[in-house]
C-alpha cells in the first residue's frame, strides 16, 4: 500500500465518522425540535396564552434547536464557534443583499407581532384578500377565506399596505341602500322604512336605527336604512334588514323602480 494512502485512510475514516455523527445529530435535533415546539405550544395553550404569540414562540423554538444542532455539527468538523461567528459577520452584507426580501418579511413579521393590528381568529382584509387569520409567522401570514381558500402572504406585502380589521370593534353597522319611485311620498316612505328597521330581529337599540335620505337619483329617490348589530350577528342582521325593507315597501305599495332612460327621437325638419 502506498505511503500516501496509509496517511489518507485515517483522515478519511475520521471525517466519515464525523459525517455520520453530524447526520445522526441533525436527525435527533429535527425530532427534538418538533417535540420541544409541540411542548411549548401545548404549555402556552394550557396557560391560555395569546394564540398569535403561541404559534410564533413554537416556531421560534423549533428554529433555535435546529440552529444549535447545525453549529454543533460544524464544531465536529473542527470549525470553532468563534470563527463561525466571524464568518457570519463577514458574510452578513452579502447575505443581507441576497435575502433582502426575506429580511423584509422578517422585519414586517416582527412589527406585526409588536403592534398587533390583528390577531389569530380576526376577520380581516389584507393585501386585497378577505378572510380569517389562521397563523402569523415571522415571514408570512396565513389567511383562510370565507369560501375555504387558503392564502399564504409575505408579511412585507401586509405591513406596507392598508389593513382592515373587520372584527376589531364589538359593534358593526349594517347599511341597506334602496331606491323608491319619484311618485312615492317622501314622508310616507320614511315612516315605512323606520317601521321596517324597528322590526329587524337581532339589531341593537343603542345606537338606534337611522333612515337617511341619500339623494335624488337618475330614476329613483335613494334611501339608506342603517341598523347596528353585534359583530358576530352582522351577517344575519343585514339579511334581516334587507328582507324587512323589501316586505315593508311591497306592503305599502311603494315601488322600487328599475333603472330607466327616456330616449327622444327627433324627426327630420324639427
Q: Rounded to whole angstroms, how far apart are CA atoms 158 and 152?
A: 11
pLDDT score, position 236:
95
DSSP 253: T
Cβ count within 10 A of residue 205:
8
Instruction: Decide: residue 219, CB within 10 A, 0-12 exposed, 13-18 middle, 19+ buried.
Output: middle
CATH topology for 171-252 is Alpha-Beta Plaits (3.30.70)
pLDDT score, position 147:
94
Backbone angles phi, psi at 243, to 5 degrees: -65, -45
pTM equals: 0.60
- Please state the domain extents for the chain: 3-98, 118-165, 171-252
CATH topology for 118-165 is SH3 type barrels. (2.30.30)
pLDDT score, position 175:
96
pLDDT score, position 150:
95
CATH of domain 3-98: 1.10.287.1260
Cβ count within 10 A of residue 173:
16
Q: Rounded to whole angstroms, how far apart are CA atoms 31 and 37?
A: 10
- 8 A C-beta contact, residue 75 and residue 81: yes
pLDDT score, position 5:
47
Per-residue confidence in pLDDT tens, the chain, 270 aa? 455 545 555 555 556 666 777 788 788 888 888 888 888 888 878 766 667 777 777 888 888 888 888 877 777 666 665 655 565 565 555 555 555 666 777 788 888 888 889 999 999 999 889 999 999 887 889 999 999 999 999 998 898 889 999 999 999 999 999 999 999 999 999 999 999 999 999 999 999 999 999 999 888 999 999 999 999 999 999 999 999 999 999 999 999 998 777 777 777 765
pLDDT score, position 12:
55
Q: Rounded to whole angstroms, how far apart are CA atoms 14 and 77?
A: 9
Q: Rounded to whole angstroms, how far apart are CA atoms 262 and 249?
A: 25
Amino acid at each position: 500500500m502506498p505511503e500516501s494512502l496509509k496517511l489518507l485512510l485515517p483522515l478519511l475514516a475520521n471525517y466519515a465518522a464525523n459525517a455520520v455523527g453530524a447526520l445522526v445529530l441533525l436527525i435527533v435535533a429535527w425530532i427534538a425540535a418538533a417535540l420541544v415546539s409541540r411542548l411549548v405550544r401545548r404549555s402556552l395553550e394550557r396557560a391560555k396564552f395569546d394564540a398569535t404569540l403561541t404559534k410564533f414562540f413554537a416556531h421560534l423554538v423549533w428554529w433555535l434547536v435546529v440552529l444549535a444542532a447545525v453549529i454543533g455539527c460544524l464544531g465536529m468538523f473542527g470549525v470553532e464557534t468563534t470563527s463561525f461567528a466571524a464568518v457570519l459577520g463577514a458574510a452578513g452584507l452579502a447575505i443581507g443583499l441576497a435575502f433582502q426580501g426575506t429580511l423584509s418579511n422578517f422585519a414586517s413579521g416582527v412589527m406585526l407581532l409588536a403592534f398587533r393590528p390583528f390577531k389569530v381568529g380576526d376577520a380581516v382584509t389584507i393585501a386585497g384578500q378577505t378572510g380569517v387569520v389562521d397563523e402569523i409567522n415571522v415571514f408570512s401570514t396565513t389567511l383562510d377565506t370565507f369560501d375555504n381558500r387558503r392564502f399564504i402572504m409575505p408579511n412585507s406585502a401586509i405591513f406596507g399596505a392598508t389593513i382592515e380589521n373587520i372584527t376589531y370593534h364589538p359593534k358593526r353597522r349594517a347599511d341597506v341602500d334602496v331606491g323608491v319611485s319619484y311618485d312615492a311620498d317622501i314622508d310616507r316612505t320614511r315612516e315605512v322604512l323606520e317601521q321596517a328597521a324597528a322590526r329587524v330581529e337581532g339589531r341593537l337599540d343603542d345606537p338606534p336605527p337611522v333612515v337617511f335620505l341619500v339623494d335624488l337619483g337618475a330614476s329613483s329617490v335613494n334611501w339608506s336604512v342603517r341598523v347596528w348589530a353585534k359583530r358576530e350577528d352582522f351577517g344575519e342582521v343585514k339579511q334581516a334588514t334587507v328582507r324587512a325593507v323589501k316586505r315593508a315597501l311591497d306592503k305599502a305599495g311603494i315601488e322600487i323602480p328599475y333603472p330607466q332612460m327616456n330616449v327622444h327621437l327627433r324627426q327630420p325638419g324639427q
